[in-house]
Chains A and B, each alone.
Chain A
């Protein structure tokens, strides 16, 4: 496949260079909200939505910044856009699904400091993707994030029923599972670049 083809970009972000398991982006929600499948899925979808919005915004902002030769403002303007996008999602959720809003709790505003989203905006700029490519890249990254968080949530739900040594209470076990998942995702490495 051509490295610039849309299929390639999607699967590269979705599997081969999965944002969570290969690039270590977005680990806070990955460890924090992955206790139950019921909260993991909306978290994944909310993140994907914010990713799409910020990807579009970042694309146009970058055009403006390059046109005026003020690329050093890139970081500041990206993070401002992401913060507003998160605020938007928060307001929408609060209006239409208050229960979900409460169960996501502190992790919803923390999407702002989810490095996966800022990382996506920066990577698409470095890779010089055009508009359509950026959108597909955001879609793939969001889907990859959702997949990773669903996988670990499913595993952790099962582990609740297992008897475990007492020292594995807490994040250590999640990290070990993450390591195993990451190991298996390395099998996709040949698909990407």
Chain B
């Protein structure tokens, strides 16, 4: 059950144990679509973090006034409002970045992770707790995006954050920055985590 007490679990749950991307498999579309370079991944992660934080806070503040039947509609409208804000802010800060991310900034609305958090968590706990949990989830999401973005950029273009890593003779693994690469890299990460988990379980089984 959800109580009002804030523990370290409130924050760390989203970063590791219930990581939105690697464990819960939510919000996959931006995860795969914009991670062809590290900087895009970072921008997307921060934009999502902001929307998640502000929508969690607002939902949690007005949670007692939202009628149960229309709650999903209310959540969606709140999220859409903040996404519109982010959309215009990024457009104002850097037009290049805005063009690189394309429609995927507006598509943050359809990120099931944010709606899922509003429905399952923020609408049931007081603002402070919702905020801390949202921060953890958002960070977990950003870290996951960076994991994918950095691997894909290093393999696909031989650079990291735009810096050349291997010199000019590097043969670029072009498919990694194309759509199939997104599937392969995320699949690879999931295999790695599953392998680690299985190994840990086996070690525990033998030590008993």
Contacts and interface: CB of A to CB of B under 8 A. Distances in A.
Interface of A: 21-28, 31, 72, 75-76, 79-80, 83, 109-110, 112-115, 117-119, 122-123, 126, 166-173, 175-176, 178-180, 182-183, 186
Interface string B58-74: 00000000000000110
A178 B31 CA distance: 14
B29 interface: yes
Nearest to B175: A183
A83 B80 CA distance: 13
Nearest to B196: A167
B143 interface: no
Nearest to A27: B28
A79 B190 contact: no
Contacts of A172: 187-188, 190-191, 194
Interface of B: 25-26, 28-29, 32-33, 72-73, 76-77, 80-81, 83-84, 87-88, 103, 106-107, 109-112, 115, 175, 178-184, 186-188, 190-191, 194-195, 198
A173 B198 CA distance: 16
B28 A31 contact: yes
Most chain A CB within a 10 A radius of its CB, from B81, B103, B112, B115:
B103
B198 A167 contact: yes
B103 A76 contact: no
Nearest to A110: B112
A169 B84 contact: no
B179 A186 contact: yes
Nearest to B73: A83
A75 B80 contact: yes
Contacts of A112: 72, 76, 110
Contact of B28 (A28, A76, A180): A28
B83 A75 contact: yes
B180 A170 contact: no
Contacts of A180: 180
The 4 closest A-B pairs by CB, nearest first: A179-B183, A175-B187, A172-B190, A115-B110
Contacts of A75: 80, 83-84, 87, 106, 109
Given A75-B109, A83-B72, A176 B194 contact: no
Contact of A123 (B80, B88, B103, B182): B103
A115 B73 contact: no
A176 B29 contact: no
A80 to B, nearest CB: 7
A79 B77 CA distance: 8
Given A75-B87, A172-B194, A115 B183 contact: no
Contact of A182 (B73, B183, B198): B183
A80 B73 CA distance: 7
A58 B110 CA distance: 16
Contacts of B80: 75-76, 79
Contacts of A179: 180-184, 187
Contacts of B106: 75, 118, 122
Nearest to B184: A179
Given A75-B106, A170-B190, A27 B180 contact: no
B78 to A, nearest CB: 10
B186 A72 contact: no
Contacts of A168: 191, 194
Nearest to B22: A171
Given A75-B109, A79-B109, A179-B187, A115 B180 contact: no
A27 B190 contact: no
Nearest to A169: B194
B72 to A, nearest CB: 7
B62 to A, nearest CB: 17
A110 B191 CA distance: 26
